[in-house]
Structure 1
Amino acid sequence: MQGSRLAFGPFVLDPDAGTLLRNDEPVAIGHRGIKLLVALVERPGEILGKAELMDAAWPDMAVEEGNLTVQIAQLRKLLGPAAGGGEWITTVPRIGYRFTGATHQLPGAKRKTLPLPDKPSIAVLPFLNISNDPEQGSFADGLTEDLIADLSRVPGLFVIARNSAFAYKGKAMDVRAIAEELGVRYLLEGSARRAAGRVRINAQLVDAMSGDHLWAERFDRSLDDIFAVQDEVTAKIVEALLGRLRAPPPRNRPKSVEAYDLCVRARKLMDDAPQAAQEAHLLLTRAISLDPDYAEAYRWLAMNHWMGWVHSGGPTDATRRLALELARKAVAIDPSDAGCRWVLAYLLAYERSFAEADAEFARAIELDPNEADTFAALSDITVLAGRVEEALEHIRKAFRLNPFPASWYYLTLGQAQYAAGQYEAAVETLRSEETYRTSSRRFLAASLAQLGRLDEARAEAELFLVANPQFSARHWAETEPFRDARTLEHFVDGYRKAGLPE
């Protein structure tokens, strides 16, 4: 999933990785700087207008032109003089800027191949929607997600998480290449069609190493049988991979297909547009009204309230109580669902109910050792408990199960790296394309400050404060569930050095 790199002078620019190397050594460059440099270097010799460059670096944002001027000045400083003493980037008065260097393309950096686990390993690729109705795409997505969840709960299997599986949606790639990138041997692929109260599902299990098809089957059933079909597909895969026919552990299934559809749509909204919390809330509330015993809807509604805390700057007593109540309800309905368990565990930690939170995390892992989100959330809480090496182990495991995760994994990794004193690694993580966002900047600023790069640290702190004007280190310390005073002081020290308010 890597494109070409661009070389000029002693530099190599990797647009996909968001990195710049000078003589094979990384150059500390910010997210906006990378975006601007890519736009310029991809069109050498052309004049790029200021508006076009601002769109490249600040898409869908209204920013002042002075921001562009500052970023260009920083780029010039980082790049230094071009061959012959000129500038790599020249100003075209009243119009824009031009990249003057000669460039050539290099092959994309090959992603490091992940070693195969010591157990049968599988990824479920997004099922194709072959109906004539594009709206049925969410049904195919939901089928994929449920099969991942079913397989994930089977002891003896290693199962790639949904975020990483969906990184391949709509992409035509060789199965061997996908398997290598994900570090698995087997792939499940298929298609789904839903119409007139019936579903038609085609599924096939492929050994990516040999290219052999281990199992394939077509299901043509009533829509009311969709969950029975999922159970049957899972059992057949387990039989093919583990040599025995075994039904997956029982799950709480919705009684209403409409409620199921609403929950799938809400999950997608929360993945793709966290700011659409209100719309997701309406969908999940409707799903619960249709099926009051649907555990997953309660789980996602609890998370919806949690995301509301994150994006609004902090919880209120009412939202905190409601989220916790919803998470407890989800676990009460389906005690065997690891996803419900880790959500409850995370919320309990923020309530300082640490013993109960630890027990729920442990139970979630016992129920589903392939649930990557459990390990990522546990890493966050474990850092705050002062068990930093353990936290790093948890987040590394989360990345192995979910090689293309949501951005909060990178924030969690960067936080753990900072806590471990791995400041250079934290800067690299927190400046990556996947995570460079407002909420990560406080950790980035602290990491830069600890490295003595105070100008960069203060610039990141200022950007963080633009979106979080009420932030103070003291208030943050009060709201985060710290259990270790030394770890807390380490973070506060970094914030203080970066110039964030105490």
Structure 2
Amino acid sequence: MSSEHVERRLAAILAADVAGSCRLIGIDEEGTLARLKALRRTIFDPKIAEHHGRVVKNTGDGAIAEFASVVDAVRCADEIQRGMAEQNIDVPQDKRIELRIGIHVGDIIIEENDIFGDGVNIAVRLEGIAEPGGISISDDARRQIRGKVDITFEDLGLQSLKNIAEPMRVWRVPSGRAVPAVPNRLPVGDALPLPDKPSIAVLPFANMSGDPEQDYFADGMVDDIITALSHFKALFVIARNSSFTYKGRAVDVKQVGRELGVRYVLEGSVRKAGNRVRITGQLVDTATGAHLWAERFDGSLGDIFDLQDQVTESVVGAIAPTVEKAEIERAKRKPTESLDAYALYLRGLAKLYQFGNRQANEETLRLFNRAIELDPDFASAYALAALCYVWAKINGWFSNTANDMAEVTRLAQRAVELGKDDAAALAPSGWALAFVVHDLEAGAALSDRALALNSNLAEAWFWGGWVKIWLGEPEAAIERFARALRLSPLGPFVAGMRSGTAFAHFFLGRYDEAVSWAAMTLQDNPDSQPGLRIAAASNAMVGRPEQAHKAMARLRQLNPALRISNLKDVLPPFRRAEDLSRLEEGLRQAGLPE
């Protein structure tokens, strides 16, 4: 037995690595290495020293650092990622240098100024599962920092780490705190982490009817199946708007699993011929590509709701067989028994998210109103009709007359009366009452009720995030937008989630982070008026007049009549007067005339 003494101590270990470094070096070897050196010199090494840590070793495109305090390690990581985000503001997405950071506290072995042991290995594995620009920490580290750092963490549950014997509970900084980086498409090799419950995306079903006009019917099948699955609290269900970004594309389910962060994908087809309907479904494990089941469901058009229930129950039975019977019964509830009203509703739903298209919005409203005529108890049709008025107000098509305000109130209130336990009716109704009618209390209550009923409803998190901003609760808003982004990382609402996060940081005085989120908003939608407003205001407040004036110039092209004096006409209500004053001051500095 060796008598040589092994020096050990308890330490917090920070492991950092550049995401996609091989790709970056392949694009521009000399330029990338020069930027890495500069970032290490100006951000990484100074922050490590500032927080009383020491860089133990550099690993080419990464580093290992040791801290006596895990609080210091986490604060250091947060500031590093903020600094990296600021550096990346004007850098194209494919050329950004983004760090992954993992932190663990544990026993280490010291040998000739180097460190070894499980404490180091676990930190490295945590770094490997972090998002680009993100931070992952172990449960041991999380326990020691609770209540000591002003950072919100998301619980990822148990995660299997490479070469670590037992699964470990892992926490991460939500997108929007360390670095707001949720790209529209993840680079090859990156993946969203899996939730701690069975997770699924339902892809658009192929329309096998031979009639392009039947696309709305096939899409409606998928929408209803997603809605039914989302009622199961035991599941994590990706939102419709993200699933539908794959419509009309040949997809690799493994890549879908990586881009959406899900374990299972449901594919299928719909054939409608006369009064007969056939639905086929295949449930695929995205990790292996293996089919868990493939089934065919046949019936008449009058059986359509039963066929949807059969698909839903087959999926749930395969991936979460222990769910309660009450949840199954709740998922079977249908918004209408009228197939004619249902068909009109599906046609409206197919047109609902054509943002910026006034004619499509007006036609959508007519379709929902016709569905209501056929079934006056159709709660979801009332709610989505109210939502059409929200789109009209956002785009400046809303007259703000007493009659229009009364109609929005009527539609929303009727949806709530009929759909007391229907999150899909409550959430848009709350959004309409808050934004159009300026009834913040009603909007907040309905948003909270919708989320209590269905925590998988991405739109409820998204709309609820905006309501929190208007109530003067920006930290809560950031958390809600982060949840919305995870449930719907792709799709038409991403720009709105990002601009909402930008506004929240702006009202917290975090202008650098607001600038970063606003920039990403405009990458998604260069003509987003909320995005341009927050880009102009936040750049002005942080001292970037050129960028502020550029955003303001585009904003005034889109809305030449906009002034400080009429700003309230296009803004939602703000409970805190200081929030409106801060925004007005930022826009004034950016060049908006009085």
Give TM-score, length-normalised by structure 2: 0.65
Question: Match of 1:348?
Answer: 433
Q: Is the 8 A contact 1:384 1:488 kept in 2?
A: no
Q: Bigger CA drift: 445-454 or 458-467?
A: 458-467
Query: Shift of residue 269 of structure 1?
Result: 1.7
Unmatched tracts of structure 1, length 5 or more: 13-23, 35-107
Paired amino acid for 1:193: R
Out of 448, 464, 469, the position equivalent to 1:383 is 469
Out of 186, 189, 199, the position equivalent to 2:267 is 189
Pairing 1:15-54 to 2, within 5 Å after superposition: 26=88, 28=90
Question: Match of 2:540?
Answer: 449
2:588 counterpart of 1:496: yes
Unmatched tracts of structure 2, length 5 or more: 1-19, 33-85, 96-185
% same residue? 37
Paired amino acid for 1:305: Y
Kindly provide the CA deviation profile for residues 433-482 of structure 1, in whole angstroms up to 9, marking residues without a partner as x: 31321412111101111121112212221221222233233443475221
* Aligned equivalents of 1:414, 1:25: Cα separation in 2: 17
Q: Is the 8 A contact 1:151 1:248 kept in 2?
A: no
Question: Match of 2:444?
Answer: 358
Out of 574, 579, 589, the position equivalent to 1:487 is 579
* Aligned equivalents of 1:311, 1:268: Cα separation in 2: 19
Structure number with greater Rg is 2
Question: Match of 2:255?
Answer: 177
Instruction: Return structure 1 stretches of 4+ with deviation > 4 angstroms.
Output: 4-12
Q: Is the 8 A contact 1:345 1:356 kept in 2?
A: yes
Kindly provide the CA deviation profile for residues 279-304 of structure 1, in whole angstroms up to 9, marking residues without a partner as x: 21222222222222222221111111
* Aligned equivalents of 1:427, 1:201: Cα separation in 2: 47
Q: Is the 8 A contact 1:301 1:326 kept in 2?
A: yes
2:527 counterpart of 1:437: yes
2:381 counterpart of 1:303: no
2:351 counterpart of 1:261: no
Which secondary structure state, in structure 1, belongs to the residue aligned with residue 491 of structure 2? coil
Paired amino acid for 2:350: K
Which secondary structure state, in structure 2, belongs to the residue aligned with residue 390 of structure 1? helix
Q: Is the 8 A contact 1:410 1:434 kept in 2?
A: no
Query: Shift of residue 352 of structure 1?
Result: 4.2
2:498 counterpart of 1:410: yes
* Aligned equivalents of 1:111, 1:251: Cα separation in 2: 40
Kindly provide the CA deviation profile for residues 410-452 of structure 1, in whole angstroms up to 9, marking residues without a partner as x: 3222222322334344333333331321412111101111121
* Aligned equivalents of 2:541, 2:464: Cα separation in 1: 25
Query: Shift of residue 277 of structure 1?
Result: 1.5
Paired amino acid for 1:182: L
Structure 1 residues 273 and 383, CA gap change in structure 2 (3 angstroms): closer
* Aligned equivalents of 1:409, 1:147: Cα separation in 2: 25
Query: Shift of residue 319 of structure 1?
Result: 1.7
Kindly provide the CA deviation profile for residues 216-268 of structure 1, in whole angstroms up to 9, marking residues without a partner as x: 22111001110111122212222222223742414343333332222222222
Q: Bigger CA drift: 108-117 or 400-409?
A: 108-117
Paired amino acid for 1:318: N
Q: Is the 8 A contact 2:443 2:467 kept in 1?
A: no
Which secondary structure state, in structure 2, belongs to the residue aligned with residue 271 of structure 1? coil
Q: Is the 8 A contact 1:327 1:344 kept in 2?
A: yes
Pairing 1:93-242 to 2, within 5 Å after superposition: 109-110=187-188, 112-242=190-320
Structure 1 residues 365 and 288, CA gap change in structure 2 (3 angstroms): same
Question: Match of 2:63?
Answer: none
* Aligned equivalents of 2:286, 2:91: Cα separation in 1: 38
* Aligned equivalents of 2:581, 2:189: Cα separation in 1: 37
Structure 1 residues 204 and 477, CA gap change in structure 2 (3 angstroms): same
Q: Is the 8 A contact 1:120 1:242 kept in 2?
A: yes
Kindly provide the CA deviation profile for residues 114-164 of structure 1, in whole angstroms up to 9, marking residues without a partner as x: 111111111111111112112111111110111111101112111000011
* Aligned equivalents of 1:456, 1:230: Cα separation in 2: 51
Paired amino acid for 1:135: E
Q: Is the 8 A contact 1:438 1:463 kept in 2?
A: no
Paired amino acid for 1:340: A
Query: Shift of residue 405 of structure 1?
Result: 3.1
Out of 423, 426, 442, the position equivalent to 1:338 is 423
